[in-house]
Amino acid sequence: MNHKMRCAAALLLVGVPAVHAQQAVPVKSVTALSALGEMRTSGRVSTRELPSSVILSGVGTARMEPRTEIRVPGTADQDQSLQLLKGRLYLNIDANDLKKRAGGEFRLKTPAALLAVKGTEFFVDAGEGGDTVGVSAGSVLVESDADKATLLLKAGQAATVRPQGISAPRSLTAEERGQSDKIPLPAADPSVIQGRVLDQNRRPVVGAMVELRSGDDYFKPMVTVETTVTKRGGIFALKKTEAGKKLNSVRVPSFRGFKQTDKRLTLMNGETPQLEIIVYLPQVVTFDYVFQPDGSRSFANASTTKGRLTLRGEVSHIDFAKALATRSLDSVGHMMDIDLSYDEGMCGFRASGVSNGFFDAGATSLDLVPMAAENGYDTSTKPCVAGHTYVVRTYEGKYAKFRVTSMKADDGRAK
């Protein structure tokens, strides 16, 4: 497919009734935010192995996936606001920002299309087979140069633009819907703390209450100073309170079965954080284990014991020597080897003793871990992942290994 054929394939209009109905709003610069820091440019921006968030001056935000390249057009390209040269781009174009700029429209040039945007959330994937456009919010009017046919894409729909025309509209795939959290948040406002609430499968959670908390865990009671509710895409915005108040957490209280989650805050002067909060439904976790009671690190001899345990509830405490999983330590009166708990929304394992610890051996079977390691154990929380094997040094100095065989949301009937 040559370049001329691809560029002539189609013209896409988002939320507008006619082609070039208004002037293109220029993007004077883009600011790329990545793990390497911040970079502002009026030329090209490209990503390699890692994604990058991008602030488009005066129009909105974008997220560049790995191996994506964009370009700020020069003064000769007045019909374009931004150009996608290759890769996948997620965009959140702010209608209010466009209205402030004489009601113009944002236009994105891709290898096969031109998108005119009046304020919406969408993605574009510029691939060899054409340019796929998917809409999370708003609408897209597609006009093909091949046959002048038009197609209106609504929220939840996608289509592919090819040199021979436009494909029939289809629903977003499960994978495309599941990636809606990649639609970037609106451009950061210095007066608010923005974020997104997602479930354990990274799906946006709508209608969750979010609280901004102030105080000190030891000297001053924690109080809620601001509340809001997540909107479409799981997005929330909390206004910062007056100067002098210590803001140290954002909380999502329990609701619809999801567990309460607290996210610690460390705010620097002038910082406008964008948070990601993961909430979990209580899980039922089943695992197979092997315990070595003689103190050796080998799991190959006949002295080992084997079994299966099922963990339920907010916190489950595990003692391998007693083949015990319990919610309350009051009934046993001694330390436990490992806990299943929820730390900032993450369902994971942790060790709370002095001498015990554990590590995640990864996605492997129990048989492929014939001996416990001599070192490498710690007490930090690690995610509970189905199919992963974990190796434990117990509080009595013995060794165990276990593999998570299943993990599912608790239906509330667990005893």
Tens-digit pLDDT profile for residues 149-165? 777 888 889 999 888 88
Asked if 160 and 129 touch (Cβ cutoff 8 Å), the reply is: yes
Domain region containing 208: 188-279
Could you say which of 226, 246, 279 is where a domain stops?
279
pTM: 0.54
Strands 220-229 and 209-216, bridge-based pairing: antiparallel
User: CB of 279 within 8 A of CB of 286?
Assistant: no
Residue 414 falls within a domain, yes or no?
no
Per-residue HEC secondary structure of 137-155 comes to ECEEEEEECCCCCEEEEEC
Q: Is residue 212 part of a domain?
A: yes
Q: What integer best gives the mean pLDDT of the chain? A: 79
196 and 176, same structural domain? no
Q: Are 86 and 136 contained in the same domain?
A: yes
Tokens linked to 285:
């976790």
- Residue 367 has φ and ψ, to the nearest 5°, of -60, -25
Q: Does some domain include residue 402?
A: yes
Number of domains in the chain: 3
pLDDT exceeds 50 at position 134 = yes
Please state the rounded mean pLDDT for residues 306-330.
81
Q: Does residue 415 belong to any structural domain of this protein?
A: no
Residues 229 and 328 reside in one and the same domain: no
Residues 208 and 116 both lie in one domain: no
Question: How far is 369 from 336, CA to CA, in rounded Å?
Answer: 23
Task: Mark whether 258 and 158 lie in a shared domain.
Answer: no
Decide which of 184 and 317 is more confident.
317
Q: Which of 180, 201, 224 is at the close of a domain?
A: 180
Answer whether residue 31 shows pLDDT above 80.
no
Residues 196, 163, single domain; the answer is no
Which amino acid is it at 184? P
CATH number at residue 228: 2.60.40.1120
Domain boundary at 122, 145, 180, which?
180
- What CATH number is attached to the domain comprising 60? 2.60.120.1440
Q: Which CATH number fits the domain that encloses residue 347?
A: 2.60.200
CA distance 120 to 378: 46
Percent of all residues in the chain with a pLDDT value above 70, rounded to a whole number = 79
Residues 176 and 252 in one domain: no
Do 195 and 142 lie in one domain? The reply is no
Which residue would you say has higher pLDDT here, 32 or 317?
Answer: 317
47 and 118: one domain?
yes
Strand partners, 311: 285
Coil, helix or strand at residue 3: helix
Q: Are residues 297 and 405 in the same domain?
A: yes
Number of CB atoms found within 10 A of residue 167's CB: 15
Q: Is 91 inside a domain boundary?
A: yes
Same domain, 59 and 204: no
86-90, 97-101, 188-192: the lowest-pLDDT one: 188-192
Same domain, 274 and 287: no
**Cα 328 to Cα 312: distance, rounded to the nearest angstrom:** 12
Residue 22 included in any domain: yes
Q: Which of 72-76, 279-283, 404-408 tops mean pLDDT?
A: 404-408
